[in-house]
C-alpha cells in the first residue's frame, strides 16, 4: 500500500487521463474529459488519479460540494474506473488510497455511484467488494430496463399492434444530425407539460456534445406527413445503446410512433450491440416505480438490472488495511 498515491486531476493531465479511459475495462465516452467538462461551470471538479508507483491504475470522475465528494454529478454513472489488467487487490488498495487522500484533505464523506455491469467491457465489480469492506451504505438503487440482444427476446402483442399502427399511419424514421425540432417541438414542451421540468442537456449543450462525440450521440426522429411526431436521443457506447431521451408529440391520437421507432432501433440499427438500455423507470431516489413506463419497456423484452449508489465515510480507509488472508 505504501506505493499508492493520489493526485487531483489538472488540465496538464488531459492526455494521460483520456489515454487511460481508452483502455480501461469499465469506461465509456462519458468519462472522456471533453464530456466531463462540457458543463464545468456547474460543478467544482475534484476528479482523482491513483498511481501505483508511477503507473496510473485508476481514475475517479468527481466533483466537490462543501466538504463532501461525489461521483461526478454531471454523469449518469461513475465510480472508480480501472485498468483492464487490475487485480482485486490493486483496486482495494487504490480505493483505500482515495479514502485516505480525501480524509487528509478534510473531506468527510464520499458519495459513489457505480457503473452498471452492462457498461463493463469485462467483469469489473471489484469496487463493490471494496465498498463492502469499507462498510459503505447503500443509499439508492435505480432499476434499468435492459434487453440482452445476445439472448432471445420477444415483443408483446400490444407492442406488435403499435408497430403495425405506425406502419399503417405511414410513419417515417430519420436519423438527424441536428436536434432543434426534437428539442423545441417535442421534448421541451412534453417535459414542461407533464413534469414542469427541462431536459438535463440544453439544446446548446447537446449540440456541443454531438460535435465532440458524433459517433456516440445519435438522434432519431419519427415523422408523419413531414411533421415530427416523436423522437429519441441515443448514447451509444461499445456494448450498449442507451436511450437518453424518449418523447412523442402529445395528443389524443395514438399513432404507434414510439413502438414503431423502437422496433426499428432494436431490430435494425443496434441489433449488433450486446445490450439495449431503456434507462430507469423509477423516481424518488429509487423508492418509487413508474409502473406504466416500466411495463412499456418490459413489453419490448426488457428486464431489470440495478444501478447502486453508496455513501462511505473517508475515515473508514483503515477498514481496508487487514482484509487479506494468506
| pLDDT (0 to 100) of residue 283 | 84
In a domain, 279, yes or no: no
Of 124-138, 220-234, 239-253, minimum mean pLDDT range: 239-253
Q: Are residues 76 and 111 in the same domain?
A: yes
In a domain, 289, yes or no: no
Do strands 48-52 and 4-8 pair parallel, antiparallel, or not at all (unpaired)?
antiparallel
Q: Could you give the 3-state DSSP secondary structure of residue 240?
A: strand
Q: Are residues 16 and 102 in the same domain?
A: yes
Q: Are residues 133 and 97 in the same domain?
A: yes
Instruction: Find the mean pLDDT for residues 117-132.
Output: 96
Phi-psi region of 273 (alpha: psi -120 to 50; beta: other; left: phi over 0): beta
The total domain count for the chain is: 2
In a domain, 325, yes or no: no
pLDDT per residue as tens digits for the range 198-237: 999 999 999 999 999 999 999 999 999 999 999 999 999 9
Q: Are residues 123 and 210 in the same domain?
A: no
Q: Are residues 194 and 259 in the same domain?
A: yes
Unique residue bearing C-alpha cell 414510439: 258
pLDDT at 179 over 80: yes
Q: Are residues 215 and 313 in the same domain?
A: no
Q: Are residues 137 and 198 in the same domain?
A: no
Q: Could you give the 3-state DSSP secondary structure of residue 176?
A: strand
pLDDT per residue as tens digits for the range 77-121: 999 999 988 999 999 999 999 999 999 999 999 999 999 999 999
Instruction: Find the mean pLDDT for residues 277-300.
Output: 92
SS3 content of the chain, % helix, strand, coil (to 5): 35, 30, 35
Q: Are residues 183 and 53 in the same domain?
A: no
Residue 210's domain is classified under what CATH number?
3.40.630.30
* DSSP track, 215-235: TTEEEEEEEETTEEEEEEEEE
In a domain, 192, yes or no: yes
What is the extent of the structural domain holding 181?
151-273
pLDDT at 1 over 80: no
| pLDDT (0 to 100) of residue 252 | 55
> pTM of this prediction?
0.94
Q: Are residues 44 and 113 in the same domain?
A: yes
Q: Are residues 118 and 156 in the same domain?
A: no
Counting Cβ atoms within 10 Å, is residue 276 exposed (0-12), middle (13-18) or buried (19+)? buried
Amino acid at each position: 500500500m505504501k506505493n499508492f498515491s493520489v493526485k487531483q486531476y489538472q488540465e496538464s493531465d488531459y492526455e494521460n487521463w483520456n489515454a487511460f479511459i481508452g483502455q480501461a475495462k469499465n469506461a465509456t465516452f462519458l468519462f472522456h474529459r471533453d464530456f466531463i467538462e462540457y458543463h464545468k461551470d456547474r460543478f467544482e471538479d475534484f476528479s482523482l488519479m491513483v498511481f501505483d508507483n508511477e503507473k496510473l491504475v485508476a481514475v475517479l470522475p468527481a466533483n466537490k460540494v462543501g466538504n463532501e465528494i461525489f461521483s461526478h454529478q454531471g454523469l449518469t454513472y461513475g465510480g472508480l474506473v480501472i485498468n483492464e489488467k487490475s487485480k482485486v487487490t490493486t483496486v482495494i488498495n487504490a480505493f483505500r488510497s482515495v479514502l485516505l487522500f480525501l480524509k487528509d484533505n478534510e473531506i468527510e464523506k464520499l458519495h459513489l455511484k457505480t457503473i452498471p455491469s452492462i457498461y463493463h467491457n469485462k467483469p469489473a465489480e471489484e469496487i463493490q467488494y471494496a465498498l463492502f469492506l469499507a462498510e459503505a451504505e447503500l443509499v439508492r438503487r435505480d432499476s434499468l430496463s435492459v434487453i440482452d440482444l445476445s439472448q432471445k427476446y420477444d415483443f408483446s402483442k400490444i407492442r406488435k399492434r403499435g408497430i403495425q399502427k405506425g406502419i399503417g399511419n405511414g410513419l417515417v424514421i430519420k436519423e438527424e444530425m441536428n436536434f432543434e425540432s426534437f428539442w423545441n417541438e417535442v421534448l421541451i414542451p412534453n417535459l414542461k407539460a407533464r413534469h414542469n421540468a427541462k431536459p438535463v442537456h440544453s439544446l446548446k449543450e447537446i449540440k456541443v456534445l454531438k460535435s465532440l462525440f458524433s459517433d456516440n450521440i445519435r438522434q432519431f426522429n419519427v415523422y408523419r406527413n413531414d411533421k415530427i411526431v416523436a423522437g429519441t436521443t441515443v448514447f451509444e457506447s461499445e456494448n450498449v445503446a442507451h436511450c437518453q431521451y424518449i418523447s412523442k408529440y402529445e395528443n389524443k391520437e395514438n399513432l404507434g410512433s414510439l413502438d414503431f421507432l423502437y422496433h426499428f432501433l432494436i431490430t435494425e440499427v443496434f441489433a449488433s450491440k450486446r445490450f439495449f438500455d431503456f434507462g430507469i423507470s423509477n423516481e424518488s431516489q429509487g423508492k418509487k416505480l413508474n409502473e406504466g413506463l416500466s411495463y412499456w419497456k418490459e413489453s419490448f423484452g426488457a428486464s431489470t438490472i440495478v444501478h447502486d449508489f453508496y455513501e462511505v465515510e473517508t475515515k473508514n480507509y483503515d477498514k481496508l488495511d487487514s482484509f487479506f488472508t494468506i
